[in-house]
Amino acid sequence: MQSSERPLPTLLLGDVLWTRRDQVAFEHYRVTELPDFFAIQGCVLTTLEDRPYRVDYVVQCDPDWKTRAVHVQTNHGQTARRLELERDDSSRWTRDGERMPEFDGLLDIDLAITPSTNLLPIRRLDLGIGAGAAVEAVWIQFPDFEAERLPQSYRRTGDGTYRYESGGGGFAAELEVDDQGIVTRYGDLWDRVTP
């Protein structure tokens, strides 16, 4: 018997491989558009304490590129960890079902281990050349999943280039992006190796 359910139509916006310049790390990253949301997903393979370390994640965003849900799983030796974050329509965040009032009002997630989440403010802000904007994100650090509120700024410096700063200028990187807003080069840290 055949099911009457049909798969949701999806549009693949990006399917890329990144490599890290300063350490052994690769990421396979995909961006898909579904009828009511966008999904970004990635698999980062690197090392931690001289052992393989794997991070799998999915970020769901609404049609305006505001984060809805974040699912992360890491594997390191025999240790597997999971993290679930959600943002409701009033921009209230929960972590594994528990409220996180310190992040109320924030729209973006920033996963520290990947350049993927820069796509979200780049697409949502849709800056003209020379324009800039300040945002704050829920910044998740690895491997401990510690979360903090991270001030960030984006300035579009050219057709496909941005100046990114965080932590009040404590970190800065020049970003190069494709026509979808997907990072092709993240300062001196990440390079895209597939078209």
Please report the pLDDT score of residue 131 as a whole number.
98
Instruction: Flag whether pLDDT at 40 surpasses 50.
Output: yes
In this model, does residue 1 exceed pLDDT 70? no
Q: State the total domains in the chain.
A: 1
Specify whether the CB–CB gap between 96 and 69 falls below 8 A. Answer: no
Q: What residues have CB less than 8 Å from 2, skipping those under 6 apart? A: none
Full residue range of the structural domain in which residue 156 is found: 11-192
In a domain, 1, yes or no: no
Is the pLDDT assigned to residue 97 strictly greater than 60? yes
Give yes or no for residue 41 having a pLDDT over 60: yes
In a domain, 92, yes or no: yes
On average, the pLDDT of the chain sits at 94
φ, ψ dihedrals at 12, nearest 5°: -80, 115
Which tokens is 75 given?
């594997």
17 within some domain: yes
Residue 2, in any domain of the structure: no
Sheet strands (E) in the chain: 11-20, 25-33, 38-48, 51-61, 67-76, 79-87, 93-95, 98-99, 108-111, 132-140, 147-158, 161-166, 171-177, 183-186, 190-192
**pLDDT per residue over 55-67, tens digit each?**
999 999 999 999 9
Rounded Cα distance between 109 and 134, Å, is: 14
Q: Which residues contact 73 (CB under 8 A, 6 or more apart)?
A: 55, 56, 57, 80, 81, 82, 83
Looking at residues 73-82, what average pLDDT do you find?
A: 96
Residue 5 located in a structural domain: no
pLDDT tens across 99-139, in order?
999 999 999 999 999 999 999 999 999 999 999 999 999 99
pTM, two decimal places = 0.92
Rounded to 5 degrees, φ, ψ at 2 are -90, 145
Euclidean distance between CA atoms 87 and 32, whole angstroms = 20
Residue 32 lies in a domain: yes
> Residue 3: pLDDT band by 50, 70, 90 thresholds?
low
* Mean pLDDT, residues 154-158 taken together: 98
Task: Note whether residue 43 is domain-resident.
Answer: yes
What does the DSSP 8-state code read for residue 9? Answer: P
Q: What pLDDT score does 167 carry?
A: 84
Residue 99 is assigned to a structural domain of this protein:
yes
